[in-house]
Amino acid sequence: MKRVLTNFIQKRTLLFYVVLNYLISWGFLYPGYQAILNAEEGTFPLFALIALPGGFGPTIAAIITVWITEGKEAVLQLLKKYKTFRVHYKWYILVLILPIILYLFSLMATTFMGFELGRFNYNEGIKMILPYMLIALPFGPIMEELGWRGYMLPELLKKYNIYTSSLILGITWTFWHLASFSFPGAAIPSVFEVSIWTISLYLLSIIAQTFVFSYFYIQTKGSLIIAILLHTSFNASSNIVLTFFPDTEGHVDQQLYLYVINILLIALTAFMLFKQLKSTQQEV
């Protein structure tokens, strides 16, 4: 029976990984979020800590899948991807500043639609860049990236080209957040109601981001550290930029336009990066 199950998993490795990933993540995240939502105001229920293993779902599922299909040594090789520091410094700079610049340009673009930026809080903004990065680092980037870019993307690339692989990963990554849709701000920005419209926007946003991730994956020869830092910057970019312009945060209409413009800018950036990648490969 064990051998039959192992053979089945080896034939459908990616499907097994995605299903296991979803089961782990949803099974822990949803009750954790509900515990927080149902707690008395101003209190934090200890039961909510059950959500932590769910955040590691992509990574835990990757380790289990590799252990079953390839064995212990392959798991050790997978974990060694956390040591991929030897990348040119320009990639570190690019992945840290690119999402922030795109979000800043998106916010500035809302002024062409009649919105105002209000106060410019330079001192507070500068002071909060590092704290927001450090807060974002463990919640998503470290928890997830061994699964998404360390395992799933390389596995997809064995079967598909970079475009198809990125699209599949983007869709999978979006609906991995299904449990998070129940908690305001965990995935979809808290100023929006969860609806087909906002989920569709979120899907487009994650797919666009996934293509940006894939570009840096190719250019850095699969550096997991670069993926973690890019994920960190994407997650922290809105908090960082809105700290510089605090008056814009409470304007729902402006936030909606900002969100849509940011998606378009990320998609345009992904298109330009892949165009540059294609021309470089052709030259080689």
What number is the average pLDDT over the span 199-210? 97
224 neighbors 146 (Cβ within 8 angstroms): yes
- On the 0-12 / 13-18 / 19+ scale of CB atoms within 10 A, 125 is middle
Tens-digit pLDDT profile for residues 45-77: 999 999 999 999 999 999 999 999 999 999 999
CA-wise closest residue to 198 among 270, 139, 252, 241: 252
Residues 6+ apart with CB under 8 A from 106: 258, 261, 262, 265
Tens-digit pLDDT profile for residues 3-13: 767 777 888 99
What number is the average pLDDT over the span 79-83? 95
**pLDDT higher than 50, residue 129:** yes
In the prediction, which pLDDT does 282 show? 57
Measured distance CA(276)–CA(54) in Å, rounded: 37
What number is the average pLDDT over the span 184-193? 90
What number is the average pLDDT over the span 175-181? 96
Contacts 24+ apart (CB under 8 A), 131-134: 132/236, 132/239, 132/240, 132/243, 133/96, 133/232, 133/233, 133/236, 133/240
Measured distance CA(118)–CA(96) in Å, rounded: 26
- Of the pLDDT bands very low, low, confident and very high (cuts 50, 70, 90), residue 190 is confident
- Of the pLDDT bands very low, low, confident and very high (cuts 50, 70, 90), residue 283 is low
What number is the average pLDDT over the span 256-266? 97
What number is the average pLDDT over the span 125-154? 96
What pTM value is reported for the model? 0.94
Could you give the residue ranges of the DSSP H alpha helices within 193-251?
A: 196-219, 224-244
In the prediction, which pLDDT does 249 show? 84
What number is the average pLDDT over the span 24-32? 97
224 neighbors 145 (Cβ within 8 angstroms): yes
SS3 220: coil
Tens-digit pLDDT profile for residues 212-229: 999 999 999 999 999 999
Weakest-pLDDT range from 62-71, 141-150, 275-284: 275-284
In the prediction, which pLDDT does 284 show? 41
Q: Hey, what are 276's tokens?
A: 């540059």
